[in-house]
């Protein structure tokens, strides 16, 4: 008697969301993570923040969307794809910086600029990968569990709470690993604290967009996954 096989479910937009997630992760951690900028806030005045705060919260936005529509297991695969992409990008940056530059006037200047931008990539990458791995899984796990317990209601509350936990873990681990001993201690605490607040605020303000994208994808994919029987082992790649 022939063995029955189950054809994996395919989705129209899952791969596109994954690509957007990984692109945002790479760009924010390799381009914007090390740069400090200043913002002027009402009452409190001028504060120093990392430039990556402008775009990094998008990764948690897409993480919420992935978990809400496709479930924890499929978001877990995206987290691992992002982790591997960051590992390769950091390895590539280390190799490019380390190899001997050509002996010409252009490279005598450019090599120093390259080292200035990517010379600390190993710490940024280590901090980013560990923080992102822990924060993303905490965010996805909490969102999936809350969805079961609330019977799919109150997406706005579930998204904000899960992001607050995930971003808190992410910010604490990332800045501690990547910039401790490099940035001034006061700047480090100030940037990490303010960025955490801004990321949670960003998630709150993006709630209408979250609802719009989630509703569109649920309708287009004919999917609204509940992780009732999901194994939440973060090291598994099973869909």
- % of the chain at pLDDT higher than 90: 36
Q: What are phi and psi of 214, to 5 degrees?
A: -60, -45
Is pLDDT above 80 for 1? no
| Bridge partners of residue 46, in order along the sequence | 40
pLDDT digits (tens, 9 = 90+) for 169-188: 988 888 888 777 777 787 78
Which residues span the domain enclosing 128?
A: 14-219
CA–CA dist 191, 171 (Å, integer): 9
In a domain, 9, yes or no: no
Number of domains present in the structure of the chain:
1
In a domain, 227, yes or no: no
In a domain, 155, yes or no: yes
Q: What is the CATH number of the domain that holds 191?
A: 1.10.1760
Task: Please answer whether residues 65 and 21 qualify as being in contact, where contact means their C-beta atoms are separated by less than 8 angstroms.
Answer: no
In a domain, 57, yes or no: yes
Contacts of residue 6, Cβ cutoff 8 Å, sequence gap at least 6: none
In a domain, 237, yes or no: no
Q: Supply the mean pLDDT for the chain.
A: 84
Q: What are phi and psi of 3, to 5 degrees?
A: -80, 130
Is pLDDT above 60 for 5? no
In a domain, 5, yes or no: no
In a domain, 236, yes or no: no
Residue among 155, 164, 163 nearest 211 (CA): 155
Task: Please answer whether residues 76 and 236 qualify as being in contact, where contact means their C-beta atoms are separated by less than 8 angstroms.
Answer: yes
Confidence (pTM): 0.83
């Amino acid at each position: 008697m022939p063995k029955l096989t189950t054809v994996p479910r395919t989705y129209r937009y899952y791969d596109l969301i994954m690509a957007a997630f990984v692109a945002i992760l790479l760009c924010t951690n390799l381009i914007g993570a090390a740069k400090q900028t200043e913002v002027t806030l009402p009452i409190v005045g001028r504060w120093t923040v990392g430039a990556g705060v402008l775009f990094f919260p998008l990764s948690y936005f897409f993480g919420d969307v992935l978990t809400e529509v496709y479930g924890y297991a499929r978001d877990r695969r995206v987290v691992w794809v992002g982790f591997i992409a960051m590992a390769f990008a950091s390895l590539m940056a280390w190799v490019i910086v380390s190899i001997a530059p050509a002996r010409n006037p252009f490279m005598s200047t450019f090599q120093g600029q390259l080292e200035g931008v990517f010379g600390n990539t190993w710490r940024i990458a280590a901090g980013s990968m560990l923080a992102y791995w822990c924060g993303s899984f905490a965010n996805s796990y909490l969102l999936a569990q809350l969805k079961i317990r609330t019977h799919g209601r109150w997406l706005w509350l579930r998204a904000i709470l899960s992001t607050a936990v995930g971003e808190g873990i992410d910010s604490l681990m990332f800045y501690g690993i990547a910039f401790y001993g490099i940035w001034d201690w006061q700047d480090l605490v100030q940037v990490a604290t303010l960025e955490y607040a801004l990321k949670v605020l960003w998630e709150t303000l993006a709630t209408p967009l979250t609802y719009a994208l989630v509703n569109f994808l649920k309708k287009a994919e004919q999917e609204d996954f509940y992780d009732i029987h999901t194994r939440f082992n973060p090291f598994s790649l099973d869909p």
